[in-house]
Amino acid sequence: MNPDVTTELYPAERLARVQEATADYGLRAVLLTPGPDLRYVTGYDAIQMERLTCLVVPASADPFLVVPRLELPAAQASPAGRLGIEMVSWDETDDPFALVAARLPAGAGRVGVADRMWAVMSLRFRDALPGTEQVAAGNVLRQLRMRKSAAEIDALREAGAAIDRVHQVVPRLLRAGRTEREVGRDIAAEILAEGHSVVDFVIVASGPNGSSPHHEVSDRVIRDGDPVVVDIGGTMPSGYCSDETRTYSVGEPPVRFRDYYEVLREAQQAACDAVRPGVTPEAVDAAARDLIAKAGYGEYFIHRTGHGIGLETHEDPYIVEGNTEPLRPGMAFSIEPGIYLPAEHGARIEDIVVCTEDGYERMNLVDRGLHVI
Ligand code: ZN
Ligand code: ZN
Ligand code: ZN
């Protein structure tokens, strides 16, 4: 990635913010192993493996990065290399957990561990830091991670445009007589061809498979008259994710399908239109759900309306009943109501939106009408 882009996406002052948040939260330190939290703070996309890599951010001492010796060149070459933090390498026969414990400022209390830290590492830290309670570092980081910077929104916009381009070719790939798996393989290739570095998921759910929201692909042969839910996403070189669903129909779909598809489309629009600062996620969820329920399909909308997105496909804020933490400018999340008729078919429409100062901006612009192929 272009170094200027990296600096804007992963600004050096972020580390100081995390340190402040660690102190505010009353923690002795946060311990970030490879994963989205570490990448958010440093830009370092480290490999998750059995050898410990860990950024230690004490509340009131200099942060340091513990890395296996063989990973040191990669760590130095990563955006973390320009942060000026001390890198402490360990050899194959050293105990890196004891190393972290020895360098942590004294005291018991609580430490935050990365939400995605492997359990086996959390247990090793429990042994290395007796009397220290572990809490989720996500609590410290979520307020920062939830509100995207201008550079992060640019990255999401770029991801949204890339997955839009993939949906634009989907009608050419979907044909009666092909299996979901064949279509899925072609879509995965397009996801990479359009600029993603990783294919995160490909759902091609035809006919009755469309009634299972997280069906992936199968060897089912697509038939004439099948509605097909296509939900796809990947990770861009920036680290930011895409996620977009459109529902297609191969030939003329069943009458009932057409009926509820229009309901769904209105519901998705209503939920988007509800987005602005100060509105609660549960109110956005209700905007979609109430319309679907009024049309008689309430029992077939079996999941929340959306999820936050950024360095992870699913992160805070969740657009769900019970979430009353008001939306703020910069929050990015999906709006994806669905209607699923068991054993018959289903439909979902999903866009990523960003809450702006006075409303919302969509990251996905492909037409939301029913695509009959
Ligand atoms: Zn999902
Ligand atoms: Zn989604
Ligand atoms: Zn999706």
Measured in whole angstroms, the distance separating CA 362 from the mean position of its chain's CA atoms is 16
All CATH 3.90.230.10 domain ranges of the chain, comma separated, are 150-372
Tell how far the Cα of 304 is from the centroid of ligand 1, in angstroms: 9
Distance 103 CA to ligand 3 centre (A): 43
CA of 350 to the centre of ligand 3 (A): 6
* Ligand sitting nearest the alpha carbon of 201: 3
From the CA of 232, how far away is ligand 3's center (Å)? 6
**Helix%, strand%, coil% for the chain, nearest 5:** 40, 25, 40
CATH architecture of 3-144: 3-Layer(aba) Sandwich (3.40)
CATH of domain 150-372: 3.90.230.10
Whether residue 317 has a cis bond before it, omega within 30° of 0 = yes
How much distance in Å is there from the Cα of 243 to the middle of ligand 2? 5
Report the alpha-carbon distance of residue 204 to residue 152 in Å, rounded.
29
CA distance 339 to 348: 7
Q: What is the reported pLDDT for 4?
A: 66
pLDDT attached to residue 54: 98
Sheet holding 86-90, edge to edge: 86-90, 64-68, 54-58, 29-32, 110-113, 133-136
By the CB criterion, residues less than 5 angstroms from ion ligand 3 are 231, 243, 245, 350
Sequence ranges of the chain with CATH classification 3.40.350.10 = 3-144
d(CA 335, ligand 2 centre) in Å? 8
pLDDT at residue 6, rounded to an integer: 79
Between the CA of 360 and the centroid of ligand 2 the distance, in Å, is 17
- Cα(302) to centroid of ligand 2, in Å? 14
Closest ligand to residue 348's CA: 3
271, 288 contact by CB (below 8 A): yes
- Of the listed ligands, the closest to the CA of 313 is 2
Task: Identify which of 183, 144, 168, 108 has the alpha carbon closest to the alpha carbon of residue 36.
Answer: 144
pLDDT of residue 365: 98
Q: Give the amino acid at 13.
A: E
Instruction: Point out the residues of the chain with pLDDT beneath 50.
Output: none
The tokens describing 211, both together, are 């009634």
Sign, CA torsion 123/129/131/134: negative
Distance CA 338, CA 260 (A): 10
Cα distances (angstroms) measured from residue 115 to each of 31, 120, 141, 291: 10, 13, 10, 36
Crossing angle, helix 119-128 and helix 96-103, to 10 degrees? 50
Distance 336 CA to ligand 1 centre (A): 9
For the chain, what is the radius of gyration of the CA atoms? 23
Contact 56, 64 (CB under 8 A): yes
CA-CA distance, 204 to 90, in Å (whole number)?
Answer: 45
- Which pLDDT score, from 0 to 100, does residue 306 have? 98
CA of 349 to the centre of ligand 3 (A): 9
Q: What is the pLDDT of residue 332?
A: 98
